[in-house]
Amino acid sequence: MEADAPSSAEISKGFAEGRPESLADAYQRWSTLVYTLAFRALGNRADAEDVTQQVFVSAWRGRANFDPDSGQLGAWITGITRHRIADRLTARSRDVRDSEAAARLAEQRPSAQVVDDLTVDRVVIADELNRIDDPRRTILKLAFYEDRTHPQIAEQLDLPLGTVKSHIRRGLLHLRDRLKEVTGDDTSR
């Protein structure tokens, strides 16, 4: 320690008072310790550097919670370090889980045949929907293409709610029956 360097008590007092030079002094005094703890826990230089920066930013922003009469600044900063390391480890675990889930989803992509079948079904449904008379066709389009609720459709078309629900039910039954005829599949399962 240099002869004219502030003591830990002076740094702590200035830090608590919000003096920027005390933040610089605290960084100079404890950043190596913070970095070493982070590097040992995380095993990655970039992560250790990020955690070191986050610790001092968090400490500075939370300095109102530090009481120099209750404890030493170095110990308080070490506590923040432990929390930031835990946060980074949690984020890593979350990233691994997300990557594994994405890989599983990529493996489960539908085959080209399934995609082709879905496209054919969509074309058939659109064609059959266009053959239905209004207001049933309009009601079904509002419900399924525009994702409107039954009350919203009733209000927009100035129809009773029960009428809207009946049109949707009958329209879906009609589409189901037509799909059975067109595709030969039993879609009621």
- Architecture category of domain 112-183 in CATH: Orthogonal Bundle (1.10)
- On whether the pTM is more than 0.75, the answer is no
d(CA 151, CA 159): 9
Instruction: State the maximum Cα–Cα separation within the chain, in Å, rounded to a whole number.
Output: 94
Which residues in the chain are classed under CATH 1.10.1740.10? 8-107
Which residues in the chain are classed under CATH 1.10.10.10? 112-183
| pLDDT digits (tens), the chain, 189 positions | 556 789 999 999 999 999 999 999 999 999 999 999 999 999 999 999 999 999 999 999 999 999 998 889 999 999 999 999 999 999 989 888 888 888 887 777 655 555 566 676 677 777 778 888 888 888 888 887 788 899 998 998 898 888 889 888 888 888 888 777 766 665 444
- Architecture category of domain 8-107 in CATH: Orthogonal Bundle (1.10)
